[in-house]
A and B are shown apart, each in its own frame.
Chain A
Amino acid sequence: MTPEFGHYALVLALALALIQATVPLWGARTNDAALMSVAGSTALAQFVFVAASFAALTACYVASDFSVLNVFQNSHSAMPLVYKFTSVWGNHEGSMLLWVLILALFGALVALFGANLPASLKANVLAVQAWIACAFYLFILVTSNPFARLAHAPAEGRDLNPILQDIGLAVHPPLLYLGYVGFSISFSFSIAALIDGKIDAAWARWVRPWTLVAWMFLALGIAMGSYWAYYELGWGGWWFWDPVENASLMPWIAGTALLHSAVVMEKRNALKVWTILLAILTFSLSLLGTFLVRSGVLTSVHTFATDPSRGVFILGILVVFIGGGLALYAWRAPALKQGGIFAPISREGALVFNNLFLTAACATVFVGTLYPLALEALSGDKISVGAPFFNLTFGPLFVPLLIAIPFGPLLAWKRGDLLGAGQRLIAAVALGIVALAATLAIQRGGPVLAPFGIGLAVYVMVGALIDPVERTGLFRVPFATALARARGLPRSAWGTAVAHFAAGMLLFGVIAESQWNAERIVSMKPGDTVSVRGYDLTLDGLLPRPGPNYRELVARFTVRQGGAVVDVLEPSKRTFPQRQMSTTEAALLTRGASQLYLSLGEVGPDGAIAVRLYHKPMVLLIWLGAVVMVLGGALSLSDRRLRVGAPKPARKAALQPAE
């Protein structure tokens, strides 16, 4: 009964979405308040029904109802309870259900918190949101029904893919989807603005918090996924330039550009046309990511061609929304009025510079990800585009961007003083050079890239702090005064400084990990010792241990530093009989921001076990950098001007007709 209830609730959600997609739009056309207000209530009701549908699937999983095909394929009665919850979205159908749940959630949030929006804008935004929802409800109901039943229920399920049996699955996909799908709001706002043909600084202020929220979640989702891959895959990599990763990175980069260009639009009423385009592109990239991951096109163009039902459906959604969005843009954007002019050297100019390089970086990832697919489809030639390509193209594009970061906040709007800003950055430049020299001296003949990377990272971090330090007068006025001024600074200024500082942290971690990573690959018997960077690890013994739905071989290592015992590490290998698969569980020892990383290989015929040991200096800065960046976003989000909403200027000024 439960699965049928869930299925039915989803159909009802589709019906509600159809109403929400049409009635409010008509209301906005005819200026009928009653019709427009339908949008809010249907958005809320839609969310309730999708949530009910999602709850029904969850209930099937928790009850291990193997008469449901989806549960049978992805669950096992002996699986720990937490994985029964997370395996709801650990498969294609369920993850699409999570996708629409989050889409409906955002729609409901706009309905709840969008009270300060003009009625017609709100109606249009929610209508566009509902078009997207309709497309994806249909996709699920037609091609990917999670509630399909089996005629004869098997006694036991096939278990969840063992790699997914990890707490990472509980956190990573929901965060990622909150980001991916969150950008649909920016998209809907843009389409609504194009339909209305009016757009102004207030629009940027309304759309900015939503973009910021999506951007934060996406950053967390990507970082979390990266850390999960790092500890789960057993060879210590944290970014692989895999198409699936690229699919989530592209909307994040475009979203970063969007956040910056929206600032220009909000403050100076300029870059409107570009901001709208970026908002459309950002969500288009989210859709593209969904297509890449969900269609199977990544495995091979040929699998896509042999089982095309899902792929073609999403491709259709892609064409309609991206094509439609861009066509509407091409038609309506020229009518939008351009505002605020500025000199090339100015805050606006710096933000345009940021947008240029982020766009190019995003395009690099886009082309690198899709080129092999396109080439194979068009000419049959097979090529690979992997990490070495991206390191060579994407990396250099970020260098000018990172150099420019500290300049941005120091330049005045309209017309800035580059030389003046450079002088104010002297401390940052000096400390960067000191860090460069120190690195050069310490590593004596180590990797060439490291000193420059570390120098740049220190420059970015110090440079990010210059603005708040100057504005609070720290080091010049008494500390209490500086503190009082610090409290008075707009939160968005703090957010900028913190997020830019985090970019430096991230770079520091990336450079340190990639350049100074130490590795030992050895075959060990109990009693053997392996050493790396002053740590001595002795293998005490191997012991089997039973788990709920797996068997585990644990290796116990004692870690010593200068003879003193520091810790005991227990990396393991798990075998999951149901799927005939095994996973390695790496053991990590964190010291400061650095980590020892230990994982196991195969046991040889002589009883020796292969062991992989890494020392990864400063590796945690990579993910801490991402977390601090999100904190910066949160600070910015708490800024008063976003919290209280846009001031309502006289009606005429707020709604410039586009003509």
Chain B
Amino acid sequence: MRGLAKSLLVLALLATPAFAVEPEEILKNPALESRARALSQELRCMVCQNQSIDDSDAPLAKDLRVLVRERLTAGDSDSQVIDFLVARYGEFVLLKPRLSAHTLLLWLAPFAVLLIAAFGFIAARRRAASAASDRLTPDEEARINALLDKN
């Protein structure tokens, strides 16, 4: 908290400048390596502020990058690697949470807001349109008729 309170911006919050992926980590097989990079971008470095293991130079991130590459070399599919990491570290490790009961609101929110706002506008327009229409209410009509009758 102390150290953090001092840091004004994103930069400082993103921890120290990172070097992330190091040359000796890179796999010889380019197809596997590109899968490893893609996976790394979806996985959180759990001791960092909102950094993926691909971006972070924390020792833990390095361990995880090496782990991901080990699993891929051992023949795991992408989803097997993810399942393995989730089983080990919990859902916290995923930067894109899975759709489940406790993330339902998160995933639905954008569309729900869009729909609610759209209905709100439509309703408001209806109200404005009916308020601005020239037609008189039956009440007003009756009063006018009464006035006309009087004259």
A367 and B19: CB pair below 8 A?
A: no
Which A232-247 residues have C-beta < 8 A from chain B? Answer: 232-235, 237, 240-245
Any A CB within 8 A of the CB of B94:
yes
Complexed CA–CA distance, A389 and B108 (Å): 12
Complexed CA–CA distance, A90 and B127 (Å): 51
Which of A17-25, A353-361, A482-490, A538-546 lies at the binding interface?
A: A353-361
- Chain A proximity of B109: nearest CB distance (Å): 4
B9 and A172: CB pair below 8 A?
A: yes
Q: Tally A-B pairs: CB < 8 A.
A: 201
Give chain B's interface residue range (CB within 8 Å of chain A).
35 or more
Any A CB within 8 A of the CB of B6:
yes
Any A CB within 8 A of the CB of B12:
yes
Q: Which residues of B contact A338 (CB under 8 A)?
A: 124, 127-128, 131-132
A367 and B8: CB pair below 8 A?
A: no
Q: Which residues of B contact A393 (CB under 8 A)?
A: 107, 110
Q: Report the interface size for chain A: residues with CB under 8 A from the other chain.
A: 84
B49 and A298: CB pair below 8 A?
A: yes
Complexed CA–CA distance, A352 and B121 (Å): 8
- Chain B proximity of A366: nearest CB distance (Å): 8
**With A229-B10, A383-B94, A384-B50 as given contacts, are A521 and B17 in contact (CB-CB < 8 Å)?**
no
Any B CB within 8 A of the CB of A443:
no
Q: Which residues of B contact A612 (CB under 8 A)?
A: 19
A387 and B128: CB pair below 8 A?
A: no
Complexed CA–CA distance, A601 and B1 (Å): 28
Q: Which residues of A contact B94 (CB under 8 A)?
A: 383-384
Q: Which residues of A contact B105 (CB under 8 A)?
A: 367, 371
- Chain B proximity of A26: nearest CB distance (Å): 35
Complexed CA–CA distance, A522 and B49 (Å): 27
Q: Which residues of B contact A89 (CB under 8 A)?
A: 8
- Chain B proximity of A360: nearest CB distance (Å): 4
Q: Which residues of A contact B10 (CB under 8 A)?
A: 225, 229, 240, 242, 244-245
Q: Which residues of A contact B107 (CB under 8 A)?
A: 393
Residue of B91, B109, B111 with most chain A CB atoms under a 10 A cut-off: B109
Q: Which residues of B contact A449 (CB under 8 A)?
A: none
Complexed CA–CA distance, A242 and B1 (Å): 17
A235 and B19: CB pair below 8 A?
A: yes
**With A225-B10, A299-B49, A338-B124 as given contacts, are A384 and B95 in contact (CB-CB < 8 Å)?**
yes
Complexed CA–CA distance, A371 and B107 (Å): 10
Which of A113-121, A193-201, A580-588, A639-647 lies at the binding interface?
A: A580-588
Residue of B nearest to A310 (CB): B5
A386 and B19: CB pair below 8 A?
A: no
Any B CB within 8 A of the CB of A363:
yes
B129 and A602: CB pair below 8 A?
A: no
Q: Which residues of B contact A578 (CB under 8 A)?
A: none
Other A-B contacts than A168-B11, A244-B13, A270-B128, 15 sampled, CB-CB below 8 A, are A74-B6, A169-B8, A229-B11, A240-B51, A245-B10, A296-B1, A298-B13, A338-B128, A356-B118, A356-B121, A360-B114, A384-B91, A523-B24, A583-B17, A601-B23
* 29 chain-A/chain-B pairs, Cβ below 8 angstroms: A91-B8, A92-B6, A161-B7, A163-B17, A229-B11, A235-B20, A240-B50, A244-B9, A303-B4, A338-B131, A341-B129, A341-B132, A342-B125, A360-B111, A363-B109, A364-B113, A371-B109, A381-B91, A383-B94, A384-B50, A384-B97, A386-B95, A387-B52, A389-B96, A392-B96, A394-B110, A397-B110, A522-B23, A602-B22
Which chain A residues have a beta carbon within 8 Å of chain B's beta carbons?
73-74, 89-92, 95, 161, 163-164, 168-169, 172-173, 225, 228-229, 232-235, 237, 240-245, 270, 273-274, 294, 296, 298-299, 303, 306-307, 310, 338, 341-342, 344, 352, 355-357, 359-361, 363-364, 367-368, 371, 375, 379, 381-389, 392-394, 397, 521-523, 581-584, 599-602, 610-612
Which chain B residues have a beta carbon within 8 Å of chain A's beta carbons?
1, 4-14, 16-24, 26, 41-42, 44, 49-52, 55, 90-97, 102-103, 105-107, 109-111, 113-114, 117-118, 121, 124-125, 127-129, 131-132
